[in-house]
A and B are shown apart, each in its own frame.
Chain A
Amino acid sequence: MRRFRALIKKEMIHMLRDPRTLIFIFMMPIMQLLLLGYANNTEIKNVPTVVFNQDNSKASRALLDSFQATDYFSFDYAVYSQAEVYRLIDAGRAKVGIIIPPDYNQNVATRKTADVLVLLDGADPTIASAVMSAAALAGQAHGASVRSQQLALQGPTGSAASPVDVRTNVLYNPDLLGSYNLVPGLIAMILFQTATSLTALAIVKERERGTIEQLIVTPIRSWELIVAKIIPYILVSFANTVLIMAVGTFLFGVPLRGSLVLLFGLVGLYLLPTLGLGLLISTAAKTQQQAQLMTMPIMLPSMMLSGVFFPISSLPLFLQFVSNLLPLTYFIYILRSILVKGVGIELIIPQIVALTVFAIVLLGLAAMRFQKTLD
């Protein structure tokens, strides 16, 4: 235990006495977040909207009024068929389509639930996600006021369900990759970068500087060496996660819906395969430059294929298969589910299992290959 403590102390000193790297570790994600966040964060108002009102009653016009009151929608087109709605969105002239069913008035009046369909052009995810929540909110608010009027006039009879149900349907980019998803994406990327490349570098550095030689002739065990090497980077990774989430939330209003305990637990789980990968690289690389280069063939596909920037569903089938082999894919899914959708652990069990398998395989391989000798 004393040996281990001495090692940890030494690793912390290495990290703290290299302020340039440390600053870089913390500045990089913030810079990326600020750049991408502000670039994406244009004010959303008067989004061109096409309306197909099949009901055309007083009730349905009241609903449309409350949509318009949000300032998000500009009712530029009124059409008379569903096909025309799609045509205008396809052509990019409208970004939102609102379809009110013929039985809207009847359903509301009889205290059933009336369905309203809102179609969104997901190609612009920032707009789409903002409009999506605006539409849902407007629908809910309108429904609540309709219901309270009914209660006041007719007394409590019939169903208590909301009279208006706004269904949203995102065209083209159903995952809505954009600013809301930027923060989960960045967290995942940064964890990947710090954990994999910094761990690999930390060990290769000892080899390159010749200090590994004095180190391996001590009674330190391999596992002590490995664990001591990665602990500082686990700490840094958690600190970074907190930082990115704080900036994302305060500056860009990114939602933090799910359980933070669950989130950090799973960040910890994700770090295991990632650190394992770093250790594996360190067993193969002789110089820091080699180590850096070796992370590239893993880093690039991870960025491109895990769904950070491009929706997985838009990838060719073969690449979709490759994306299943990347731990990052599962982690991104987990992060988005927790942060944006606020889901609990029960809905992400398969992803957790996948990460656990990756952790066992990669750490196992690393432990097998990591030898405390120079050859």
Chain B
Amino acid sequence: MSNEILLETENLIKTFGTFRAVDGLNLQVHAGEMVGLVGPDGAGKTTAIRLMCGALSPTSGVVRVAGYEVPAQVEKAREQVGYLAQRFGLYGDLSVQENIEFFGEVFDVPVSEVKQRAAELLNFAGLGDFTDRPASALSGGMQKKLGLASALVHRPKVLLLDEPTGGVDPVARQEFWHLLIALLRGGSAVLVSTPYMDEAMRFNRVIFMNHGRVLTQGEPRQLMSRLEGRILELDAGDQMAARQIAEDDPEVEDVHTFGNHLHLRVSSAKGPMERIPMKLKSANIPMEHMLQIPATLEDVFIHLIETEGEEYEQPTPSA
């Protein structure tokens, strides 16, 4: 991984009326790095990405894309960016082939290359058999793949993907990630927003954001290790009652339901591990098991949102 910074924002601010959707965002993405931008609905992910590709103009602050400043050199910057919008934004009345060729042509891909590049990308994306189909007649997953192929047709240095797997079934999501990784082959800086925590594990680095700011960032494993030993899994017969008991424990900070389990976040594990089984027993609630489990990114995420990142120092990006 080279250390060249291809994408950078500096004190980026965007207000809509009096509301700050992006509130002093600072982040960097290096060449060859795939970074996840994770945050709840309304965190400002889409707004941030739109500012980076010049679809919105910032209220203040700058974006630097492959050495060009946005908004000052936005036209130059745009040539270096591939962007896949959260909402499907290709032309439904144009065929698959026409869509990708259109984007190839407006990005000035050499005439001799456009067709070949389009065919290559479409075949790779499994769309080779559908080149004549109108884009509106593709499934959601295929549309996302076509969007990705169109965003990559000009070999951008910076790739911005806004929830590229949103609203797509799990199999299609898997396929999408394989496709993305296969098509990248290093060199580009990639920033992907996603609401799916399981996907966040795929990134070199995850940036958590909420209320338009970065809460924390780091490699997934490193982030998870911060909650080492502080997540307990509890499986009991009467989940409602068990939850009440867990919430009453002084060292339990938070309780969440994961399927038929409860996840407890604790300030330390020892006390609750002793007290809660006893209380369950005296309340006559059968307990299947209670054990320490490794934290997931989702645990980290929930913790971050609830504490607004207080417990986390603002670390420098780990490149």
**Which residues of A approach B to under 8 Å, CB–CB?**
2-3, 5-7, 9-10, 13-14, 17-18, 209-221, 373-375
Contact = CB atoms under 8 A, between A and B. Distances in A.
B79 to A, nearest CB: 5
A218 B93 contact: no
Nearest to A375: B56
B57 interface: yes
A14 B93 contact: yes
B203 interface: no
A219 B55 contact: no
Given A18-B93, A219-B75, A375-B56, A2 B108 contact: yes
B89 A219 contact: no
B50 interface: yes
Contacts of B57: 373, 375
A219 B108 contact: yes
11 contacts: A2-B111, A3-B108, A6-B101, A210-B88, A213-B87, A214-B85, A217-B81, A218-B78, A218-B106, A373-B54, A373-B55
B55 A213 contact: yes
B98 A13 contact: yes
Nearest to A18: B93
B150 to A, nearest CB: 8
A374 B21 CA distance: 15
A3 B78 CA distance: 14
A211 B89 contact: yes
A209 B79 CA distance: 24
Contact of A13 (B53, B55, B93): B93
For the complex of A and B, the 6 pairs showing the least CB-CB separation, nearest first, are: A6-B105, A214-B89, A210-B87, A213-B85, A218-B106, A217-B53
A18 B134 CA distance: 13
Contacts of B91: 10, 14, 211
Candidate in B54, B102, B111 with the most chain A CB atoms within 10 angstroms = B102
A318 B21 CA distance: 49
B94 A218 contact: no
Candidate in B101, B103, B106, B108 with the most chain A CB atoms within 10 angstroms = B106
Contacts of B111: 2
Interface residues of B, number: 31
Interface string B58-99: 000000000000000001001101010101111111100010
Contact of A220 (B88, B98, B106): B106
A11 to B, nearest CB: 11
Interface string B129-151: 00000000000000000010010
B30 to A, nearest CB: 22
B107 interface: yes
Given A209-B89, A211-B89, A214-B90, 17 more contacts: A3-B105, A3-B108, A6-B105, A10-B98, A14-B93, A209-B92, A210-B85, A211-B90, A212-B89, A213-B89, A214-B89, A217-B53, A217-B78, A217-B83, A219-B106, A220-B106, A375-B57
A62 B57 CA distance: 83
Contacts of B103: 214, 218
B134 to A, nearest CB: 8
Contacts of B78: 217-219
Contacts of B107: 218-219
Contacts of A13: 93-94, 98
Candidate in B57, B79, B92, B105 with the most chain A CB atoms within 10 angstroms = B105
Nearest to B54: A217
Given A10-B91, A18-B93, A214-B89, A5 B56 contact: no
Contact of A373 (B56, B83, B89, B94): B56
Contacts of A7: 106
Interface string B109-121: 0010000000000
A220 B108 CA distance: 10
Contacts of A221: 75
B83 A214 contact: yes
A7 B53 CA distance: 20
B153 to A, nearest CB: 11
Candidate in B81, B87, B89 with the most chain A CB atoms within 10 angstroms = B89
Contacts of A210: 85, 87-89
A5 B81 contact: no
B51 to A, nearest CB: 10
Nearest to A7: B106
A341 to B, nearest CB: 45
